[in-house]
């Protein structure tokens, strides 16, 4: 009788754990694309141990829309970076370690972690060990198939959003940033930040919660507008590991 009780308890704990894992993975369904870096932050060279190409391959096996970060994204993904997830593979283990460990992480456009999974390997050869550990992390996806399902808002939430001030009334037309002058160009999902020659330097977008985001070649962060219409951009610097802030000063007309 005691053995039956223990077996039932073990099965219940396992079932709850599996369901919780499935719920976490399905958060990925809210994003349209996954972007995989050619060189991960912890890597010393491009596609080290073939982890970038293997990540792309394994994601595609589960039905994701996958792009390497040196590929051209669809227009919608360029205009609204918050449609995309960024995949990262963090590695641990070295010459004298008995186990190689990797962590597969998915970040949203605000550098917030949406989902992560860990894997490990006792293989001695570096390349095989890292690949085996990554496959072990992807074992958490067993039985999961990606299906794009954008988040839906209830009527009450939508009504509150409609009552908020329009983005058009909050932005100035021109800004000064690091001694150079820039102007805003309206697009469907927000604004383009253009330099004096008309070159695109950044995209300012707005999500369903009226939160603003600033995305350029080097900066991906959140954006706030102060009472002077200055733009305050806060972002996480991957190289220094610190939170940074820049300010674009509104130019009075």
The C-alpha atoms of residue 36 and residue 58 are separated, in whole angstroms, by 11
Q: Is the pLDDT of residue 208 over 90?
A: no
Q: Tell me the pairing of strands 84-92 and 33-36.
A: parallel
Cross-strand partners of 69: none
Is the Cβ–Cβ distance between 185 and 179 less than 8 Å?
no
According to the per-residue pLDDT averaged within each range, which of 5-19, 41-55, 167-181 is highest? 41-55
Q: Which residue has the higher pLDDT, 3 or 213?
A: 213
Q: Which residue has the higher pLDDT, 69 or 151?
A: 69
The C-alpha atoms of residue 110 and residue 189 are separated, in whole angstroms, by 17
Of the pLDDT bands very low, low, confident and very high (cuts 50, 70, 90), residue 147 is very high
- Give the mean model confidence (pLDDT) for residues 185-193: 85
**Mean per-residue pLDDT of the chain:** 82
Of the pLDDT bands very low, low, confident and very high (cuts 50, 70, 90), residue 155 is low
Per-residue pLDDT reduced to its tens digit, 60-118 = 999 999 999 988 888 888 878 888 999 999 987 655 568 999 999 999 988 899 999 99
Q: Is the pLDDT of residue 168 over 60?
A: no
Of the pLDDT bands very low, low, confident and very high (cuts 50, 70, 90), residue 122 is very high
DSSP string, 116-179: EEEEEE--SSHHHHHHHHHHHHHGGGTT-----------HHHHHHHHHSPPGGGT--SEEEETT
Q: Is the pLDDT of residue 163 over 90?
A: no
Q: Which residue has the higher pLDDT, 249 or 158?
A: 249
The C-alpha atoms of residue 130 and residue 48 are separated, in whole angstroms, by 9
Residue 227 sits at the vertex; the CA angle it makes with 223 and 233, to the nearest 5 degrees, is: 20
**Sequence spans of domains, the chain:** 30-141, 165-250
Please state which CATH number belongs to domain 30-141: 3.40.50
| Helix pair angle (126-138, 51-61), 10° resolution | 20
- Give the mean model confidence (pLDDT) for residues 41-49: 90
Inter-CA distances, 114 with 28, 180, 229, Å: 7, 36, 31
Its pTM surpasses 0.75: no
pLDDT for 24: 84
Of the pLDDT bands very low, low, confident and very high (cuts 50, 70, 90), residue 17 is very low
Lowest mean pLDDT among 24-28, 62-66, 149-153, 159-163: 159-163
The C-alpha atoms of residue 65 and residue 59 are separated, in whole angstroms, by 8
Q: Which residue has the higher pLDDT, 111 or 15?
A: 111
pLDDT for 243: 87
């Amino acid at each position: 009788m005691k053995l039956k009780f223990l077996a039932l308890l073990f099965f219940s704990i396992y079932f709850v754990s599996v369901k919780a894992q499935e719920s976490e993975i399905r958060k990925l369904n809210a994003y349209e694309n996954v972007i995989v870096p050619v060189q991960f932050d912890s890597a010393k060279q491009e596609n080290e141990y073939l982890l970038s190409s293997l990540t792309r391959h394994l994601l595609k096996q589960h039905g994701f829309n996958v792009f390497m970060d040196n590929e051209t994204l669809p227009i919608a993904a360029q205009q609204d970076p918050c449609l995309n997830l960024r995949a990262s593979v963090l590695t641990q283990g070295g010459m004298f370690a008995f186990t190689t460990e990797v962590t597969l992480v998915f970040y949203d456009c605000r550098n917030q972690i949406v989902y992560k999974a860990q894997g490990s390997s006792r293989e001695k050869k570096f390349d095989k060990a890292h690949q085996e550990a990554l496959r072990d992390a992807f074992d958490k996806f067993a039985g999961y198939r990606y299906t794009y399902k954008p988040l839906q808002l209830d009527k009450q939430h939508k009504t509150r959003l409609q009552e908020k001030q329009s983005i058009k009334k909050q932005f100035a037309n021109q800004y000064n940033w690091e001694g150079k002058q820039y102007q805003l160009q309206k697009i469907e999902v927000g604004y383009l930040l253009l330099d004096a020659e008309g070159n695109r330097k950044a995209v300012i977008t707005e999500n369903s919660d009226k939160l603003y985001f600033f995305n350029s070649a080097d900066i991906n962060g959140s954006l706030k507008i102060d009472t002077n219409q200055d733009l305050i951009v806060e972002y996480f610097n991957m190289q220094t590991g610190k939170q940074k802030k820049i300010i674009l000063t509104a130019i009075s007309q």
